[in-house]
Chain A
Amino acid sequence: MSVADKVVKIIAEQAMLETSDVSLDNSLEDIGIDSLGLVESIFAIEEEFDITIPFNANAPSNSDFDITSVAKIIQGIERLVKEQAA
C-alpha cells in the first residue's frame, strides 16, 4: 500500500467512512473530523509510519505541517517519511 493509500485508510476510519468516500481535496472538516478526531488521526499516522508530526493542537494553522486538505496531509507525510529514511 502506498503512503497515500495508508493515510486515506486512517482518515476514513477516523471519519467512519469508506475509503472511496474520501477525496484528496476534502478538508478534514468536510468529512466530519473535529479537533479531537484530528489529534487521533495524527497519532494513528505517527504510529503507522513511525514518524513525529510537528503539530500543536492550540494553533494548527501555525504548525509546521499543512492540514488544510487530505492531499496536503499526504504530501507532508511523504516528506517526513523520506526525511526519516534519509
Chain B
Amino acid sequence: MKRVVITGAGTINALGHSVAATMEAMREGRCGIGPLEFRDVERLSIQIGGQVRGFEAEGRYNRQQMSLYDRYTQFTLAAAAEAITQSGITFSGETAAKSGVVLGTAGGGVSTWDDNYRAVYEEGKNRVHPFVVPKLMNNAAASHVSMEYNLKGPSFTVSTACASSNHAMAQAFQMVRSGMAPAMLTGGSESMLCFGGVKAWEGLRVMSKDACRPFSANRNGMVQGEGAGIFVFEEYEHARARGAEILCEVAGFAMSSDAADIVMPSKNGAARAMAGALADAGVNPDQVGYINAHGTGTAANDKTECAAVADVFGPHADQLMISSTKSMHGHLIGGTGAVELLACIMALRDGVIAPTIGYEEPDPECALDVVPNEARDASVDLVLSNAFAFGGMNAVLALRKI
C-alpha cells in the first residue's frame, strides 16, 4: 500500500476566500454566521446562515462559463485553483490519464433548480435556458475541475448528505493508497442558501434562529453554511520526488451505515466509523489528540456523538480535544467535511486547535473538552474528522502529522 499525503488545499466559505483567511478566522474564533441576503428571505422563519460574502463570480468567470457554473461549481473551481496552485502539481501524460477528481455534494445546483422553478411556476414562463441540466447536475463541479486541470482518470461525485465530502475524500484516499492513481483532487462543495434550499430545511424544525452552539446546553439547532474545500491527495513518493510541500498525511478512514433511521443518528454507527478509522490507520485510540466533530448543534447529534466518543476512547476521551467549527462557518452539508479538514490540517501542521465558539453552558451529556470559544496551542500527531449523515451514513478520516 502507498502512503497518501495532502499537498494542496483550497477553500471558500463564510470565514474567508482562502485557506489562510479561513485558518486565521478559526484561530481567532471568528463567527461567519449572519443575516442571510437573497430574494424572498423575508418569507423564511430561519434568516441566518454562513453565507459567502464578497464573492464576485462576474469578472472571475466569462459569460459562457457563467451560463454553465452554478454557485456550487463556482465555489469548487475557486477552491480547486487555490489547491492546485499550492500543490504545484500539473497533469499530463500518464499522470493525467490515471489521476481524477472525486467530490461530494448533497444538493448540487440547488439555486439553479430554484431560479428555474421560479421562472416556470411563479413567473409562468414556458422556456428555460438550454444549459439548466448541465448546470444543476451533481457531477457538474467535478466535471469542470476535470476539464480545467486535464484529469482523465476516475472521476465522479458522491452524495451522502452531510457526509458527502468525507465519503468522497475516503474514495480518493483509497485510489491513491492502492496505487490506482498517483494523485486525486477531492473534497466537496455546497450552496443551498437560497429561498427553496433554506425553506426545505425549515420544515424539519431543527434549525436555530440565532446561532450554532454545538455541545452547549443552551444550543437550539443547526445553522447552514455554504462554500467548498478542495484538496490534492498525492502518493507520498510522487510528492517527494517533485519536492512538494506536504501538509499532512491521510492515515486511514472508515465508513459505516446505521441501517436504522432516516434522520436520527446512532451511537453505534458513529462509534464503528471512528473505531474503524483508527484500525485502518493502525493506531491506538490513545494516540488521537484531536477530533473535528460533526457537532451540528442539534440535541440529537451532539449527545450521540459525545456518547460514541466515550465508547471508542474510554478514559482517553477526557484527554483528547474535540471541537465543532460549524459554530463558525455553519453546516456546509455535502461540503462540510472538506472545509472542516482545514481545522485538522491546522491542528497537525500549526499546532493550533480550532475552538467551538458560542459555547455558553456545559451540558453533562457532552462532558468532553470541546475547546470552548478560544483556539488553543497544542501539539497533536493524530486527528480524526467525523461526518455523520442523514440516512445513517457515516465516514471518518484519520490524519497524521508529517
Contacts and interface: CB of A to CB of B under 8 A. Distances in A.
Nearest to A43: B203
A35 B203 CA distance: 13
Contacts of B221: 56-58
A59 interface: yes
Nearest to B203: A43
Interface string A7-50: 00000000000000000000000000001100100110000000
A43 B208 CA distance: 18
B220 interface: yes
A9 to B, nearest CB: 22
Nearest to B222: A58
A42 B206 CA distance: 13
Interface residues of A, number: 12
Interface residues of B, number: 15
B301 to A, nearest CB: 10
Given A56-B220, A58-B221, A59-B220, A42 B299 contact: no
Interface in B207-263: 208, 219-221, 262-263
Contacts of A42: 205
Contacts of B263: 36
Given A35-B264, A36-B263, A57 B203 contact: no
Interface string B170-214: 000000000000000000000000000000000111101000000
Interface of B: 45, 203-206, 208, 219-221, 262-264, 298-300
Given A43-B203, A62-B220, 17 more contacts: A35-B264, A36-B262, A39-B203, A39-B204, A39-B205, A42-B205, A55-B205, A56-B205, A56-B206, A57-B204, A57-B205, A58-B206, A58-B208, A58-B219, A58-B220, A58-B221, A58-B300
